[in-house]
Every structure is written in C-alpha cells, then in structure tokens.
C-alpha cells in the first residue's frame, strides 16, 4: 500500500478539517488533496514511477505538498536541507541523480543541474482532477534520507513504503493519535523524526502546526506558541526540550492541552528530563530510540518514579514489532523490523543489504525490568543536536583547507546538544588557526562545526599507525 493512502481515506471522512497550519495560513484536508493532485498529475505525465525526485524546500506546507505529490505519483522523495553548503547539496544531487528537483522560484545559482528544476508555484497552477493514486509494492522505495557517511561523504538511507507505513501505524496506535490532536512540527523533512509529523498525523486525522524555526532560539516564546496553538503532541529532540525546561517559562505558561511529548535523536540528560517532568506533570513523556536505518525500534514511557540524576534513562522495550537481539561478544544491538531500511542509495541505485537484521553500532544491555539500556556507540559516530554526524566527513572538509596538514575529530559532551564535534589539527608552517579554519563556515552546517580546536605538531598515533583517538579525547580533558 502507498504510504499516502491513509491520508486519502481520511480526507474522504473529514475534508474540511485542518490538515496543516503555517504562520497565518491554514489548509484543509480537501485543500491539501487538491495541491497534491496537481503535483502528482504533472509527475505522472512524465512517467516518474520508482524514480527519485529531490525537494529543495524549507519545512512547511509547500514541502509537504511536494512530498505527498511525489509519493502519489509513485516516485521517491529526496528531501534536501536548504541550509547545507552548496558543495554538499550538489554532491547529494550528483550521487542520487534525481529525475527532477522541486523548489520555489528560479533555479538557484549553486545548482549544477538547473535543467531539472521545477518551480512548485508553477506546478500548483496546473489543472488536475481525480488522479489515480499510484499503486506500489510495499517493498518499493518511498524516501531517501541522506545522513553523514563513514566514508567522508553523505549516504542515502533508502526507506520503503512498508518501512514508513509500519512505523506510522504503530505510532498512531501506540500514542492514540486522533482527529482532535494538534501536532507541533519542527523536525526538518530530511530528518527521520518528520515521518511522524508527515504521515502518522494525517493518517489519524490530526492537524499539523508548523512551529516557526525562529522560536527555537527563544524558549519562552516557543512555550507561549505551544499554549496559543493548543498543541497536544510534539516529537522533537532532547536538546531543545532541555532548553525549554531550563528557560521556557513553564512555571508561568501552562500547557493544559499538551498530552504527550516524544523525543529521540540523542541521550536526554537526566537532570533536564527530571526538571521537564516536574514542570509538565500531566504530560506523558516517551523516549524513542533507533538509527535512521531502523527508525524507531525501542521506546520507553518515562516512569517519573525511576528517574535518577546518576543514571541515564532506558531506551526501553521493542517498538513497531521489532525483534531485537544483543551480540554476545560486543553487546551490539541488532534489529529485525519491518521498519528496516532497504539499503543505501548510492550512484543513483539501491545498494541492497542482507541479512535482514541490522547491526546498529550501539552497545546495549538488558536491565532488571527487561528493558534495553543504551551505553553509547561502538564506532565513532556522534549525535549532535539530534543529527547523526560522522567525524570522517568533518575531517574530510578540514583536510581540504589550504593551511591544514591533517586533522582528527572527536566528540565531547555538551549539556544542551548531547555531543559537539571538536578537532585537533596540524597547520602548515606559519599559518594561523583562525585564518586556516575560516572557510569551514561555508563548508559545514552549524551542528557539524567543531566547537573547539587544538593545534598540535603531529597527530598522536597507535603502534599500528592508526590515529590514537583516545589520546586525542584526553587532550580535551586537560
């Protein structure tokens, strides 16, 4: 079944209900359906079924319309982060080789393949009535989400209609989402948290309210917005919730409509979670866990009586009917789930993976309650403000700078972001650190920018010639 089928079924039942609200604009289910059909009609005429369509639009009604239009045509949506550097965007486009790129207005100057550009405003001016929703096999790809890659380049996680649908159905049932819910949406569409906002919400008849990005820097105004919009559900990252718990004026701004908060993407500092739990005693809090390749495979309904500042919280019990196992030698969590991705999208084709069980790279154990506890990464991957970051990609950017000889990147703890990248570098003769790293502002997105730099004469090495990352970690402790 096509992942957007439940929306069309819901639209037939509640066509006049609000589907999306963005700033002062609201869109009913019927209005949204009309937008979808116009985009889908054009794409179906181009025979794009099973082809990749990139979307270069900021989170909001236009981007949601494009995503649903692409899926309704039987194509695969590839959401791009418009805040990424041009080099990264063009790399992803070159690697994915989309048939079209949907944006707004004229093609941007940074785009190497301007001939593929489609202006969404033009698409929405076309005429379309009663399109036939594309029938797809459950295993057909629905989305490609590019994440930081261990090879130094981004890689596309390919997700099927089955994977999206399995999570969407589970989330709707588990969290009892219904047509009275108002869901706050802040997750970028290239981030897997957005699957809940985009698909679970509309399948259940709920209304999605796009949280203005500017409010994420003003926690008290964000809290006031949640109250004004009478938000009942919100799925976001712990770093932002920590910010709100500390500075969101929750003592003076009541949120009586807020039923549940879901969080994922990084470890929630327990002291901040305790504060949030105390400030929102009526709201259910859920810790959701899973890499992009599995979406959510574990979840834990926060038990306020068990919160202890000296312990991290559990990732909980299996979610989405996942079958979980722990490698006896390494303690690595392995996941067999209908959520699991189909493989990596590289060089315009799917690199399918087998077997079906996905090794997460995360070390876990079972606690006395039969729940899974998380003990960190087995490899070097970082979780920064909810984003998965491979240090190799940052190192590659640093090493290409004119005045840098070599570099190594590690993660250091941060109370708000979970982790932040930090770098050790060696400079060419007579170079200054400030001038050497200045170009990184254009090469790396903010959450990938190292927060600290240390200059050394040479990188510490192990006896086998590999970089000694433990020694580098120790440099930042002194």
Extract the tokens encoding 416: 């708000």
- Taking only the tens place, the pLDDT of each residue in 332-368 is 999 999 999 999 999 999 998 777 899 999 999 999 9
> If we measure between CA atoms, which residue out of 272, 281, 327, 336 comes closest to residue 304?
281
Per-residue pLDDT band for 53 (boundaries 50, 70, 90) equals very high
Interior/surface letters 106-129, b for 16+ CB within 10 angstroms, e for the rest: ebeeebeeeebbbebeebbeeebe
- Taking only the tens place, the pLDDT of each residue in 219-237 is 999 999 999 999 999 999 9
This prediction has a pTM of 0.89
Determine what percent of the chain is predicted with pLDDT higher than 90.
79
- Taking only the tens place, the pLDDT of each residue in 61-116 is 999 999 999 999 999 999 999 988 999 999 999 999 999 999 999 999 999 999 99
For residue 69, the SS3 value is helix
Contacts for 218 with CB less than 8 Å, ≥ 6 apart: none
Instruction: Please say if the pLDDT value at position 464 is more than 60.
Output: no
Coarse DSSP helix, strand, coil percentages of the chain, rounded to the nearest 5 percent: 30, 25, 40
User: How confident is the model over 19-27, as a mean pLDDT?
Assistant: 97
* Alpha-helical regions (H) of 98-230: 120-123, 161-174, 194-195, 201-203, 219-228
Average pLDDT value over all residues in the chain: 93
User: How confident is the model over 200-205, as a mean pLDDT?
Assistant: 98
* Alpha-helical regions (H) of 161-294: 161-174, 194-195, 201-203, 219-228, 238-247, 270-279
Contacts for 51 with CB less than 8 Å, ≥ 6 apart: 75, 76, 98, 99
């Amino acid at each position: 079944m096509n992942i957007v089928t439940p929306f069309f079924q819901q639209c037939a039942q509640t066509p006049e209900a609000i589907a999306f609200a963005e700033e002062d604009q609201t869109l009913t289910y019927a209005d949204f359906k009309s937008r979808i059909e116009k985009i889908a009609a054009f794409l179906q005429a181009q025979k794009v079924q099973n082809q990749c369509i990139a979307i270069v639009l900021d989170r909001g009604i236009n981007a949601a319309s494009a995503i649903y239009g692409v899926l309704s045509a039987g194509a695969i949506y590839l959401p791009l982060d418009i805040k990424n550097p041009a080099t990264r965007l063009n790399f992803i486009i070159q690697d994915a080789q989309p048939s079209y790129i949907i944006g707004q207005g004229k093609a941007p100057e940074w785009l190497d393949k301007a001939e593929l550009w489609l202006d969404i405003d033009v698409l929405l001016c076309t005429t379309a009535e009663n399109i036939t929703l594309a029938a797809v096999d459950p295993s057909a790809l629905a989305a490609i989400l590019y994440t930081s890659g261990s090879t130094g380049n981004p890689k596309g996680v390919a997700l099927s209609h089955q994977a999206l649908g399995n999570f969407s159905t589970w989330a709707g049932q588990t969290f009892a989402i219904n047509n009275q819910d108002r869901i706050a949406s802040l997750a970028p569409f290239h981030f897997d948290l957005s699957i809940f906002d985009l698909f679970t919400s509309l399948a259940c008849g709920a209304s999605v309210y796009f949280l203005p990005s500017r409010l994420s820097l003003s926690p008290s105004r964000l809290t006031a917005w949640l109250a004004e919009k009478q938000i009942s559900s919100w799925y976001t990252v712990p770093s932002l919730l920590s910010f709100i718990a500390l500075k969101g004026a929750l003592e003076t701004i009541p949120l009586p409509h807020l039923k549940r908060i879901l969080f994922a993407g990084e470890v929630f500092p327990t002291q901040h979670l305790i504060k949030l739990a105390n400030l929102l005693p009526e709201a259910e809090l859920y810790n959701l866990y899973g890499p992009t390749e599995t979406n959510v495979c574990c979840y834990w309904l926060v038990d306020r009586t068990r919160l202890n500042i000296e312990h991290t919280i559990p990732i909980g019990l299996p979610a989405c009917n996942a079958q979980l196992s722990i490698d006896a030698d390494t303690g690595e969590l392995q996941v067999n789930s209908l959520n699991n991705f189909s493989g990596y999208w590289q060089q315009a084709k799917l690199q399918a993976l087998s077997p079906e069980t996905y090794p997460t790279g995360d070390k876990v154990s079972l606690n006395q309650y039969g729940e899974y506890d998380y003990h960190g990464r087995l490899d070097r991957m970082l979780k920064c403000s909810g984003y998965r970051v491979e240090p190799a990609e940052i190192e590659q950017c640093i090493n290409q700078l004119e005045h840098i000889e070599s570099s190594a990147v590690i993660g250091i703890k941060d109370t708000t972001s979970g982790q932040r990248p930090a770098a050790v570098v060696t400079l060419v003769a007579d170079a200054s650190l400030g001038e050497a790293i200045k170009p990184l502002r254009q090469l790396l997105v903010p959450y990938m920018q190292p927060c600290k730099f240390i200059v050394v004469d040479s990188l510490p090495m192990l006896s086998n010639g590999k970089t000694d990352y433990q020694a580098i970690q120790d440099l930042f402790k002194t």
